[in-house]
Amino acid sequence: MRSVQAAGGTPLSEGSPTRPPRGRRIALLATLAAVIYALDLVTKFLVVEFLEDREPVVLIPGALVLNVIRNPGAAFSMGTGLTVVFSLIATGVVIAIIRTARRLRSLPWAITLGLLLGGAMGNLTDRIFRAPAPLQGHVVDFVQVFPATRFPVFNVADSAIVCGGILAVFLAWRGFQIDGTRQDQQEEERADG
């Protein structure tokens, strides 16, 4: 009997498939999403409370500035008139991640989905509850790197979404599946079967 390894290193046997524990992966996803969400909420509260309507705070000259802005659009302030659409897309992303979690057995995918979920919930909270209106709220952005380059101002949620997106592309490229298997292993099993 041939033994196949799941993405997390757990052996999967053809006769009696043993898969990584789903509960632990979901717990990791939920914990990471909650941490990202809490960090995003706390940092936005602090910068709005103490830095909004003030001069930008230079932390590292020429490299890192805290500069509070309200962004009605997406990254690079694109689509500023589509705030409601972005709110609906973020809601769809949250629902899709929660539904996908039912099949989750992969540690790397648990981390990826946790980052994406926490980030999506952070920015969605701004869009729902901040001015000017529900589902039209402007996202609080405050981290500006290399200000001379006009790099966009972002927040904790944006960072988590970008990191999660990069991980998702990498995992998909390498063939890692949500269920803990790898695409090339599934193809080998089909060819052998």
With residue 4 as reference, give the H or E element that holds it.
Answer: strand 3-5
Q: Using CA atoms, how far apart are residues 188 and 182, in angstroms rounded to an integer?
A: 10
Per-residue pLDDT at 83:
83
Per-residue pLDDT at 75:
64
Name the active-site residue from 126, 158, 179, 192: 158
Lowest mean pLDDT among 1-5, 34-38, 61-65, 76-80: 1-5
Annotated active-site residue 126? The verdict is no
Q: Using CA atoms, how far apart are residues 123 and 14, in angstroms rounded to an integer?
A: 43
Per-residue pLDDT at 189:
63
Q: Using CA atoms, how far apart are residues 146 and 190, in angstroms rounded to an integer?
A: 50
Per-residue pLDDT at 35:
98
Calculate the alpha carbon distances from 167 to 8, 115, 127 in Å: 15, 9, 25
Cα 111 to chain centroid distance, Å, stands at 9
Per-residue pLDDT at 80:
76
What secondary structure, in 3-state letters, does 130-155 show? CCCCCCCCCEEEEEEECHHHCCCCEC
The average confidence (pLDDT) of the chain is 87
Does residue 193 register a pLDDT over 90? Answer: no
The percent of residues in the chain predicted with pLDDT above 70, rounded, is: 83
Residue 73 DSSP SS3: coil
pLDDT tens figures, 149-191: 988 899 999 999 999 999 999 999 999 999 999 887 666 666 6
Does residue 81 register a pLDDT over 50? Answer: yes
Tokens 């990202």 correspond to 36
Q: Which of 161, 40, 180 is nearest to 112 (CA)?
A: 161
Annotated active-site residue 158? The verdict is yes
Mean pLDDT of 105-118: 97
Residue 10 DSSP SS3: coil
Q: Using CA atoms, how far apart are residues 141 and 157, in angstroms rounded to an integer?
A: 9
Does residue 192 register a pLDDT over 80? Answer: no
Name the active-site residue from 40, 126, 141, 192: 141
Per-residue pLDDT at 119:
96
Amino acid at 110: A
Per-residue pLDDT at 15:
38
Beta strand extents in 72-164 (DSSP E only): 139-145
Burial 48-87 (b: 16+ CB within 10 A, else e): eeeeeeeeeeeeeeeeebbbbbebbebeeeeeeeebeebb
Position 86 confidence tier, pLDDT thresholds 50, 70, 90: confident
Does residue 11 register a pLDDT over 60? Answer: no
Calculate the alpha carbon distances from 108 to 38, 92, 146, 159 in Å: 22, 22, 31, 17
